[in-house]
Chain A
Amino acid sequence: MLNVGKIEEGFVLDHIKAGESLNIYNKLGLDKLDCTVAILKNVRSDKMGKKDILKVECPLEMLDLDVLGFIDHNITVNVVKAGEIVEKKRLTLPKELKNVIKCKNPRCITSIEQELPHIFVLADEKKEIYRCKYCEEKAVKKI
């Protein structure tokens, strides 16, 4: 395996579906942060065949777990402090998403009301369906 230097403080996102790492990089807004990021693509994995890994060196509170849980709750979040993994976080589907996805229903109040947050609520956990809190429009899971 390709060797990438250890990080001091930050997180390692493991078990990302192969090819999805750049999408997650963007959705987490890592492009806007001035921190060290390693993107590993198509890493061999016993469990998944191939997987992606993201290593990010940044303060721990910078990570939005809700967004990550929404994108793919199978991702493992390893929290790193002083160069060691101190915690493995399991992601769950967030009950509510605020300003993560936008309601696309043109008849929805979110289309005209000033500064109204776009809020989606987990309506069906099994089918992973989110609905707009206001108009109940279904959200497309893939973002």
Chain B
Amino acid sequence: MRHLMSPLDFTVEELDKIFDLAGEIEKDPKRFAHVCDGKKLATCFYEPSTRTRLSFEAAMMNLGGNVIGFSEASSSSAAKGESVSDTIRVISCYADICAMRHPKEGAPMVAASKSLIPVINAGDGGHQHPTQTLTDLLTIRSLKGRLGGYTIGLCGDLKFGRTVHSLIRALLRYDNIHFVFISPEELKIPDYIIDELNEKNASYEEVIKLDDVMGKLDILYMTRVQRERFFNEEDYIRLKNFYILTKEKMLLAKPDMIVLHPLPRVNEISVEVDDDPRAAYFKQAQYGVYVRMALIMTLLNLEA
């Protein structure tokens, strides 16, 4: 029995199979509408994350399965002090597969070690969020046709952004990618990620302003620049405009560039960009459902 704890749990070849399956699902969703008939997904969310939970639930329902679960710790047995190990043993009796989100790092791994059913890490604190990374990879593969051989810009908070770190690590397994890190000095990519890039001889550059590199990007991955990350308000106001994607900045971009964002967006992408055909962040949410469908099928060893 397999679980999914980290985006690197699957080999590149295994991921290809999952993405191929997701592609088939996209082409003909009806063919998969009863694959999970009679099966149940338990969404065990010890902290609220509505978007992730709904994406999992939609995925299971699209496959004909059912969903049980809880969406915050206060409404669950965790509030009464039950351990993750005990909870998953009980859930194993109720459901066929579990997606777990927990504020404590490593909680899904503890669950997996005691579980009788496959466990998917749906986010454990600041640690891992593998289905987000798989979503990003599938979106790139589907819209660009490949997972290597392009220039990708990652923009915003690169210091604390777990999503960005996971994506970089996942992309380091593919060839000929040039990384462009776009962030204020205060929110630069951490040294340990730079070390990994150097170790793998990856090609990268670090810049301050989005405008300066816009023209060379094939993919732009936007993230939020949070006000509370800055020491003072002045710096925030001075810098934030460098990292807000506007119609004007889009004029500098290649005609086939794509813009991604893990969502939810606050103000880092201007609403006027949404109608640009290059804005792919809502499509990305759709791919998030496809990849979760493919993942559930893979972990349950089901075929259409």
Contacts and interface: CB of A to CB of B under 8 A. Distances in A.
B110 A107 contact: no
Contacts of B85: 113-114, 116
Given A109-B84, A113-B84, A113-B85, A132 B106 contact: yes
B109 interface: yes
B36 interface: no
Interface string A105-143: 101111111101000000000000000111111000000
**Taking chain A's interface residues, is the majority helix, strand, or loop, or is none over half, making it mixed?**
loop
Contacts of A110: 106
B110 A113 contact: yes
Interface string B110-151: 100000000000001111000000000000000000000000
A113 B106 CA distance: 11
A116 B111 CA distance: 11
Nearest to B86: A114
Contacts, number: 47
A131 to B, nearest CB: 11
Interface size class of chain B, counting residues whose CB lies under 8 Å from the partner chain: 10 to 19
Interface residues of A, number: 16
A113 B83 CA distance: 6
B112 to A, nearest CB: 11
Contacts of A107: 103-105, 125-126
A109 B126 contact: no
A132 B125 CA distance: 15
Nearest to A108: B105
A134 B105 contact: yes
30 contacts: A105-B105, A107-B103, A107-B104, A107-B105, A107-B126, A108-B104, A108-B105, A108-B106, A109-B84, A109-B102, A109-B107, A109-B110, A112-B104, A113-B83, A113-B85, A113-B107, A113-B110, A114-B83, A114-B85, A116-B85, A132-B106, A133-B106, A134-B106, A134-B107, A134-B109, A135-B105, A135-B106, A135-B125, A136-B105, A137-B105
Closest A-B pairs by Cβ, 7 of them: A134-B106, A135-B105, A109-B104, A109-B106, A109-B107, A135-B106, A114-B83
Interface of B: 83-85, 102-107, 109-110, 124-127
